[in-house]
Amino acid sequence: METRYKIIPSRRRSNAMVVHPETAANWGIEAAGRMTLRYGLASLPVKVGFSSKVERNEILLSAEMVNRLRIPLSNQFDVIYKNGKIRIGPVIGFLITHSARDFSKNLRILNDYVRLYDQIGGTIMAFCLENVNRKRRTIRGAVYNPRTKRWVRGVYGYPSSFFIRSKMIPRDYKIHFQRVLGKAFFNNFTFDKWRMQQILLTGGLRRNLPPSQLYRNPEQVGVLLRRYGSLYIKPIWGSRGRSVIRVSRRSRQLLVKYRKNNQNQTVLFTSYRKLGDFLGRLLTPSQYIIQKAIPLLSYRKRIIDFRNIMVKNGRRQWEEVALIARFGAPNSVVSNISAGGSAERGEDTLRRMFRLTPDELQHFRERISRLSFRVARCLDEVGVNCGNMGVDIGVDANGHLWILEIQHNNPDPTLALDAQETGVYIKILLNHLLYLKYLAGFETKEGEDE
């Protein structure tokens, strides 16, 4: 790990910075003189001098500059020098809510992140959209103090990068942040299920996608039900299995299964007309996707699918963190944990369900890996900044892989905890931080995030 530096305020003239001569040499500074100091998005001219009286891990900086740049003195920083510019950081942020009313409550979601502070350094900032001053480019939020392990409220400058841990931001804010930060913030977009389907089809993944159509009317459902025998109808916006419906033909009856008030519901119809009347009241055109139901693996009436967790790391590379198997509640139409499901390590499930040898398991796992990285490339190629996602994959009895859904809008990392994979959970959070650090201009060197 590289040296981290403490900022020591001094009473020297307003634009003075003093460091040990060896420190300056390590940075690549050959001679004292005028330079530019940057912290976050703010920068000021600075006159750099050398003194052997300053400790090698200290930066003596005028108190006026500390105040103007709003640098927290409790933190320790990485430093990058290039072409007369000194950057202190990283300064990374989390947008955790839109409303100031919910800020304190939502601050708790960062508790596990800040426990990893020593591996990141710099400044970790939390803020809400309501307290962003776009004109002054300031934020009323909180900065983590690693000494006291508490959050310090105040007004700070913009971070160099941030992670949207709230719902999606309005278009005017998105345009503003793109103008100021470029692509240095992620989860800055969302695709509905139908748009995602088109992206994956364009990326050559048709063989792994269930046949799908955008819902127009109940008659369309009847046509597809006659063709395929069983369908899933999913809202194009939504997650956690909410409002998912399964429709099947069973002898002379039409079976509809869905969840309502956290309970599994089953309705039987004796004609397509009655089914159509029911769906017509329930569904809105163009707001649902109809998919052929794939006969997925199941165990004791519990459907099984797999989430391959993909996260970008400190070198902006996609990293496959873990494969988690999800078991739906008995007779449920979805496998989501929030709907009563459970989870375990994906490799254990594959080995048990297909009775695989170690070599066969490795080959199966490599197929899932290749498919997931192809999905990741598809998203990269459309120009969005997706820092983390879950590739939800179904496996049929023949071992064919089906892409069921792409969870690209901040998939919940606690799924790893549901599978008793604490190390995986920590790895996900660490990669989020390392990717933020990269976006802030502080790239992780090979091996540092291992």
Asked if 323 contacts 315 with a C-beta cutoff of 8 angstroms, the reply is no
Q: What mean pLDDT is predicted for residues 309-336?
A: 86
Q: Identify whether residues 274 and 349 lie together within a single domain.
A: no
Instruction: Extract the tokens encoding 127.
Output: 């803020």
In a domain, 26, yes or no: yes
In a domain, 205, yes or no: no
Please spell the DSSP secondary structure of 72-107, one letter per residue. -TT-EEEEEEETTEEEEE-EEEEEEES-GGGHHHHG
Q: What mean pLDDT is predicted for residues 146-170?
A: 95
Query: What pLDDT is stored for residue 331 in this prediction?
Result: 65
Mean pLDDT, rounded, of the chain: 92
Q: Identify whether residues 322 and 430 lie together within a single domain.
A: yes
In a domain, 347, yes or no: yes
Query: What pLDDT is stored for residue 443 in this prediction?
Result: 86
pTM > 0.75: yes or no: yes
In a domain, 446, yes or no: no
Q: Identify whether residues 302 and 431 lie together within a single domain.
A: yes
373 pLDDT tier (thresholds 50, 70, 90): very high
The total number of structural domains that make up the chain: 4
Q: How many CA atoms lie within 13 A of 433 on its CB side?
A: 25
Rounded (10°) CA dihedral 153, 157, 161, 167:
60
What CATH number does residue 53 fall under? 2.40.40.20
Rounded Cα distance, 308 and 406, in Å: 10
Higher pLDDT, 51 or 443: 51
Q: Identify whether residues 216 and 329 lie together within a single domain.
A: no
Taking 70 as the threshold, does the pLDDT of residue 196 lie above it? yes
Range of the domain at 49: 5-88
Taking 80 as the threshold, does the pLDDT of residue 1 lie above it? no
Q: How many CA atoms lie within 13 A of 319 on its CB side?
A: 19
In a domain, 333, yes or no: yes
**Which of 73, 88, 103 is the C-terminal boundary of a domain?**
88
Q: Identify whether residues 387 and 306 lie together within a single domain.
A: yes
Instruction: Extract the tokens encoding 74.
Output: 């409790």
Taking 60 as the threshold, does the pLDDT of residue 449 lie above it? no
Q: Identify whether residues 329 and 392 lie together within a single domain.
A: yes
Which region among 134-138, 260-264, 292-296 has the lowest average model confidence (pLDDT)?
260-264
Q: Identify whether residues 340 and 426 lie together within a single domain.
A: yes
Asked if 326 contacts 402 with a C-beta cutoff of 8 angstroms, the reply is no
**Which of 88, 110, 137 is the C-terminal boundary of a domain?**
88
**Which of 292, 319, 351 is the C-terminal boundary of a domain?**
292
Higher pLDDT, 255 or 265: 255
DSSP class of residue 287 equals S
Q: Identify whether residues 98 and 143 lie together within a single domain.
A: yes
Give tens-digit pLDDT for 102-149.
999 999 999 999 999 999 999 999 999 999 999 999 999 999 999 999
Query: What pLDDT is stored for residue 328 in this prediction?
Result: 83
Give tens-digit pLDDT for 299-322.
888 889 999 999 999 999 999 999
Scan for tokens 């409220």, then name that residue: 153
Q: What is the sign of the dihedral through the CA atoms of 330, 333, 335 and 338? A: negative
In a domain, 338, yes or no: yes
335 pLDDT tier (thresholds 50, 70, 90): low
Taking 80 as the threshold, does the pLDDT of residue 329 lie above it? no
Which region among 10-14, 92-96, 162-166 has the lowest average model confidence (pLDDT)?
10-14
Q: Identify whether residues 433 and 301 lie together within a single domain.
A: yes
Give tens-digit pLDDT for 36-50.
999 999 999 999 999
Q: Identify whether residues 41 and 168 lie together within a single domain.
A: no
Question: Which helix (H) or strand (E) covers residue 163, if one does?
Answer: strand 161-164
In a domain, 35, yes or no: yes
Give tens-digit pLDDT for 234-259.
999 865 546 789 999 988 899 998 87
Q: Identify whether residues 160 and 275 lie together within a single domain.
A: no
Name residues whose C-beta falls within 8 Å of residue 346's C-beta, 6 or more positions apart in sequence.
306, 307, 308, 322, 323, 324, 325
In a domain, 72, yes or no: yes
Q: Identify whether residues 148 and 251 lie together within a single domain.
A: no
Taking 70 as the threshold, does the pLDDT of residue 425 lie above it? yes
Query: What pLDDT is stored for residue 408 in this prediction?
Result: 86
380 pLDDT tier (thresholds 50, 70, 90): very high
Query: What pLDDT is stored for residue 339 in this prediction?
Result: 58
Taking 90 as the threshold, does the pLDDT of residue 383 lie above it? no
Taking 70 as the threshold, does the pLDDT of residue 233 lie above it? yes
